Chain A
Amino acid sequence: MRESEQLTIPPDSRPLEAQPKWRQDFPIDWPQDHYVSRRDFTKFLVLTSFAFVVGQLWIVVKNYLRQRRGAPPIQQIATVEQIPIGGALTFNYPQPHDSCVLVRAGQNNFVAYSQKCTHLSCAVVPQPEKGRFYCPCHEGVFDLNNGSPLAGPPRRPLPRILLEVRGSTIYATGVELTTI
């Protein structure tokens, strides 16, 4: 290695003799300092990269657990007479903490969706007269007929609850998730 490479280079590149005394007493090797700081930043980014891998593996585990749970149970929600046309009813499905909303849009037209907004999980409000679900947190709007996002920040549709009407009783039979 050349001798010049071993020297400490001040930031203004003038020789050490031309530098103030404090810098002569406490010289800083700037090229080496730059090198080490960038190398350490690279190391930090590699740690960030590891964190992303951990995140991906967490999704894999969650997906595996979801698959293992299997199909949700069939659950009775209400009777047809309980809900007037244009009315709504909240219920929990498939887990006790999963809030959903059932809307009677017409005489024989029932739709049900998860009540969690797909943006930040605020509770959506059914507005059957306007044909939509409304999220008051960030002005999100979903179509009443298919749950797809119409306005605001949400990008994914509301999870649809599959329904079955047997006689005069309405049952929830499953959950349908879609990305678009």
Chain B
Amino acid sequence: MRKRFTREQRLTIVYGVLCIVVIIVMLQLWLLMATMNAYLGGDQAVVLPGALASLVCFALNVGLLWYLYRMES
């Protein structure tokens, strides 16, 4: 049986998840700027790894959000 959290605990958890998501989104922003700069400078080597890294970050974010919704149900 899944453990149900109190509302105070859920608020703490959502704060933690929010902090992690903010950090990941900032990382993605930096990644996009760096990839754009490399692409415009003719450097093709980082384009695909940059996109894959961003995709992994997005998957992490989706996982965290899914955990929040799962916690409520």
Chain A residues positioned under 8 Å from B18 (CB to CB): 38, 41-42, 45
Contact A179 B43 (CB under 8 A): yes
A35-B10 CB under 8 A given contacts A42-B64, A59-B36: yes
Number of interface residues of B (CB under 8 A): 41
Asked if A46 lies at the interface with its beta carbon under 8 angstroms from chain B, I say yes
A59-B35 CB under 8 A given contacts A45-B25, A46-B65, A49-B58: yes
Q: Tell me which of B11, B24, B41, B47 contacts A49 (CB under 8 A).
A: B24
Contact A2 B39 (CB under 8 A): no
A177-B40 CB under 8 A given contacts A35-B11, A39-B68: yes
What distance in Å separates the Cβ of A117 from its nearest Cβ neighbour in chain B?
Answer: 12
Q: Tell me which of B4, B25, B48 contacts A1 (CB under 8 A).
A: B4
Enumerate chain A interface residues (CB-CB to B < 8 A): 1-2, 5, 31-32, 34-35, 38-39, 41-43, 45-46, 48-50, 52-53, 55-57, 59-60, 62-63, 67, 118, 155-156, 159, 176-180
Would you give 28 A-B contacts (Cβ < 8 Å), ordered by A? A1-B4, A31-B11, A35-B11, A38-B11, A42-B14, A42-B17, A42-B65, A45-B18, A45-B25, A45-B61, A46-B21, A46-B62, A46-B65, A48-B25, A49-B24, A49-B28, A49-B61, A52-B58, A53-B28, A53-B55, A53-B58, A57-B51, A59-B36, A118-B40, A159-B42, A177-B40, A177-B43, A179-B43
